[in-house]
């Protein structure tokens, strides 16, 4: 079955891809209107939490993912899907989940913003480095001839431009962002779910057929991500308030961005798309479950 999965190319129309690009931009904008330049200044004065989070996302998680690939030896497209998801910045709903978990939501929002900007360079770099270290995925990368500059442009247009516009609006017209903030957060949550549904709708039968081939790997991968974030934050001596944000930010990956990159640069390669789609469903369930458990024990805001 796995070999058959590698041969599957999911169909996705250019129009649908443009719609998904626009949806992701709206979600990023909804995060950005919570930010002001002063937020970044505070992080510059006390950078340890955000640096720990970035290290967890862009260094530790990709390395652990490579280890998982070496141990599990999945089919090439599945392995590359795991590597790509690990190379993406934090997910769009991590801020909402961190807030529900009683963690440092301000740190979560700032980490999402900084990780998004950093992803212009670090996402294609991590895919290239770790993907080329594993022979079977290196062959896929050679066949698709992925251009890191094109990936950077795609990430920039979808994520960084809405980020800049959102921050600018919050600075110039805070009255507008105050009215938009709560409804847009809920709308963006619904949009994210719609994003995953749209990505699966045209290929639902294939997804049901092959989800079992990736389910256990995705569950283990997500558990590794959450554990890595928590343990690294503990090792850095951060408070429980900050640890919750970093744990969730590491375990909630932007699989929506991953799907766009898969359809845009890998021709909708089956194993990669099913991994990213299953991640998009599972990390909502695991994240919300973890948040409910954490919320039972309030964390001191220190």
What pLDDT does 252 receive? 92
| 14-32 and 105-133 helices, crossing angle to 10° | 140
Q: What is the pLDDT of residues 62-97, one digit of tens each?
A: 999 999 999 999 989 899 999 999 999 887 678 778
- Quote the mean pLDDT of the chain: 82
Closest-CA residue to 11 (of 142, 207, 278): 207
What pLDDT does 1 receive? 47
CA angle 227, 138, 120 (to 5 degrees): 60
If one counts every other C-beta atom within 10 angstroms of the C-beta of residue 94, the result is: 29
If one counts every other C-beta atom within 10 angstroms of the C-beta of residue 148, the result is: 14
Statement: residue 256 has pLDDT above 70: yes
What pLDDT does 273 receive? 82
Contact 103, 249 (CB under 8 A): no
Kindly report the length of the chain: 302
Ranges 47-56, 96-105, 140-149: which has the least confidence: 140-149
What pLDDT does 126 receive? 92
- 184 vs 147, residue with greater confidence: 184
Contact 23, 191 (CB under 8 A): yes
**Which tokens go with 298?**
């309030």
What pLDDT does 231 receive? 96
Q: What is the pLDDT of residues 184-238, one digit of tens each?
A: 777 877 776 676 676 666 667 766 777 777 889 999 999 999 999 999 999 999 9
Sorted by sequence, the CB contacts under 8 Å of residue 177 that are 6+ apart come out as: 33, 34, 166, 169, 170
What pLDDT does 145 receive? 62
| Residue 214 CA to its chain's centroid (Å) | 18
Residue 9: strand, helix, or coil: strand
Predicted confidence band of residue 153 (pLDDT cuts 50, 70, 90): confident
Q: Which domains does the chain have, with CATH numbers?
A: 2-295 (1.20.1530.20)
Predicted confidence band of residue 284 (pLDDT cuts 50, 70, 90): confident
- 6 vs 139, residue with greater confidence: 139
| 174-201 and 161-172 helices, crossing angle to 10° | 160
């Amino acid at each position: 079955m796995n070999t058959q999965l590698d041969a599957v190319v999911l169909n996705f129309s250019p129009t649908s891809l443009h719609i998904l690009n626009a949806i992701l931009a709206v979600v990023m904008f909804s995060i950005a209107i919570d930010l002001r330049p002063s937020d970044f200044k505070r992080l510059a004065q006390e950078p340890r939490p955000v640096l720990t989070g970035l290290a967890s996302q862009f260094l530790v998680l990709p390395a652990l993912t490579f280890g998982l690939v070496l141990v599990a030896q999945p089919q090439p497209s599945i392995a590359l899907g795991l590597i790509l998801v690990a190379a993406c910045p934090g997910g769009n709903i991590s801020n909402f989940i961190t807030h529900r978990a009683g963690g440092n939501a301000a740190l979560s929002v700032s980490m999402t913003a900084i990780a998004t900007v950093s992803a212009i360079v670090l996402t294609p770099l991590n895919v290239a480095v770790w993907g080329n270290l594993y022979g079977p995925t290196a062959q896929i990368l050679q066949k698709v001839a992925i251009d890191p500059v094109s990936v950077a442009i795609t990430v920039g247009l979808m994520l960084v431009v809405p980020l800049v516009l959102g921050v600018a609006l919050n600075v110039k017209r805070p009255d507008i962002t105050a009215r938009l903030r709560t409804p847009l957060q809920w709308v963006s949550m619904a949009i994210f779910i719609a994003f995953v549904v749209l990505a699966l709708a045209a290929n639902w039968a294939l997804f049901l057929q092959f989800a079992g081939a990736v389910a256990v790997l995705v569950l283990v991968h997500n558990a590794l991500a959450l554990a890595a974030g928590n343990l690294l934050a503990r090792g850095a001596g951060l408070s429980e308030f900050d640890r919750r944000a970093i744990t969730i930010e590491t375990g909630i990956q932007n699989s929506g961005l991953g799907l766009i990159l898969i359809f845009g640069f890998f021709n909708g390669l089956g194993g990669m798309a099913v991994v990213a789609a299953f991640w998009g469903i599972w990390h909502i369930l695991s994240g919300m479950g973890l948040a409910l458990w954490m919320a039972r024990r309030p964390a001191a805001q220190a």
